[in-house]
Amino acid sequence: MFDNLSDKLDKALHVLKGHGSITEVNVAETLKEVRRALLDADVNFKTAKEFTNTVKEKALGQNVLTTLQPGQLMVKLVKDELTELMGGETAGINLSGTPTVILMSGLQGSGKTTFSGKLANYLKTKKTKKPLLVACDIYRPAAINQLHVVGDQIGVEVYSEPENKNPVQIAQNAIAHAKQNGFNVVIVDTAGRLAIDEAMMTEIANVHKAINPHETLFVVDAMTGQDAVNTAKTFNERLNFDGVVLTKLDGDTRGGAAISIKSVVDKPIKFIGTGEKMDAIDVFHPARMADRILGMGDVVSLVERAQEQFDEEEARKLQKKIAKNQFGFDDFLSQIQQVKKMGSMKDLVGMIPGAGKALKDVDIDDDAFKGIEAIIHSMTPTERTQPSVINGSRKKRIAKGSGTSVQQVNQLLKQFDQMSKMMKMMQGGGGRKMMQAMGK
């Protein structure tokens, strides 16, 4: 995410590292590079200029009041200002209605339908809500089908009226349906066009007026840079929306949209989309995003993701199994699955301070576990619980079934064996025994 921008800001801020104090000259030199980095990232000219002016004033004003090194001070000021520019505080969504009505707006292809599904899934799992998805695109039957596919995938009901050509009516009927059937959130996915067009704007404005949503979200593709900001402006003038959803931040996005949209439309970014899967949704936290942009990682989000996947009950069961020497390959497999649920490897590495930058050019294989999973899947239930029965002919069979080699199977068995021993010793509290085992 934002690799290029992070790189350039890092270089710009390096200028001050060797200096003992902040002066007009070295500040100006640094900020010239910062501004260039922002412009390259497609931040609009006015925003970039205001940004560097503010940082400059603060830097020169604070110089005497701080014990920070000039380089550190500048990083802090840039970080604070980036956070401010992206909205300062994290903005939540209003879920107070009965039902809460959320209207999605945006151009076709921005990721509206995908995000509607992600949001329904998020509200269902994290906020224990009962959402209803509503298909209001009356032009493209494929769009209605797409929402049904998404709904099936996440187990959320989808309301549609394929024969009805009146989106206002469909939305109103859906809300009535929600009230009668105990849904407490209604997410209305609307029709988008490839570009701004008056008929589309009138249509969504009419739906907006008729259903008076608690939240109107504007969905925009982060890859479109300044166009994203311009589209946001037009939609905001018509709908006065409540928040922005930035999608496709997993791609090779330059970052301009994320940085400038708030200052241009004065509406916060509320969520980001980081992939095509239904769980690739994150609440937008300006400070954490600033950390990531400056290559400082995002440990808080990393820990939160780990916590989300952590199941206390499961952990307890696992502990018992280890104690009884019953930890098998099925348990190993479920551990791998838990790690995978935390997100793509590249995404996770990007959250580790310093690692994102260091590993930027390394191709991180998301299927790093694929071989291991294939080998385990080729084992019989007995082999999984009692790996000791795996003899030479079984190894050959497993290698063949998983498309790997006997050598790879051996390697996994060896690793598994070492891991089991280690776990057993940690359980027994036998530090000494463990040292002995490792010395063997």
List residues near ligand GDP by CB under 6 A: 106, 108-114, 192, 247-248, 250-251, 273-276, 280
Nearer Cβ to ligand GDP (4/108): 108
Ligand-binding site membership of 110 (annotated): yes
CB of 376 to ligand GDP, least distance (A): 29
Ligand-binding site membership of 247 (annotated): yes
What is the C-alpha to C-alpha distance for residues 84 and 78, in angstroms, rounded to an integer? 10
Nearer Cβ to ligand GDP (113/121): 113
Ligand-binding site membership of 190 (annotated): yes
CB of 146 to ligand GDP, least distance (A): 6
Nearer Cβ to ligand GDP (251/401): 251
- For 336, phi then psi, to 5°, come to -60, -45
Nearer Cβ to ligand GDP (31/186): 186
Ligand-binding site membership of 82 (annotated): no
CB of 44 to ligand GDP, least distance (A): 23
Which residue bears the tokens 């063949």?
Answer: 400
Nearer Cβ to ligand GDP (236/274): 274
Amino acid (1-letter code) at residue 386: Q
Helix or strand run (H / E) with residue 269:
strand 269-273
Ligand-binding site membership of 106 (annotated): yes
Q: Is the dihedral of CA 380, 381, 386, 387 positive or negative?
A: positive
Ligand-binding site membership of 111 (annotated): yes
What is the C-alpha to C-alpha distance for residues 202 and 40, in angstroms, rounded to an integer? 35
CB of 249 to ligand GDP, least distance (A): 7
Residue nearest to ligand GDP (CB): 273
Which of 190, 184, 94, 175 minimizes the C-alpha distance to 137? 190
CB of 222 to ligand GDP, least distance (A): 8
Nearer Cβ to ligand GDP (191/290): 191
Q: What is the 3-state secondary structure (H, E, C) of 384-430?
A: HHCHHHCCHHHHHHHHHHHCCCHHHHHHHHHHHHHHHHHHHHHHCCC
The two three-digit tokens of residue 250, written as one number: 């997993």
Amino acid (1-letter code) at residue 226: Q
Ligand-binding site membership of 5 (annotated): no
Residue 170: partners with Cβ closer than 8 Å, 6 or more residues away: 134, 135, 136, 138, 159, 160, 161, 164
CB of 108 to ligand GDP, least distance (A): 4
Ligand-binding site membership of 193 (annotated): yes
What is the C-alpha to C-alpha distance for residues 415 and 400, in angstroms, rounded to an integer? 20
Amino acid (1-letter code) at residue 108: Q
Asked whether the bond before 99 is cis by omega within 30 degrees of 0, the reply is yes
Ligand-binding site membership of 71 (annotated): no
Nearer Cβ to ligand GDP (149/323): 149
CB of 13 to ligand GDP, least distance (A): 29
* Residue 180 CB neighbour total at 10 angstroms: 8
Binding-site positions for GTP read 106-113, 189-193, 247-250
Binding-site positions: 106-113, 189-193, 247-250
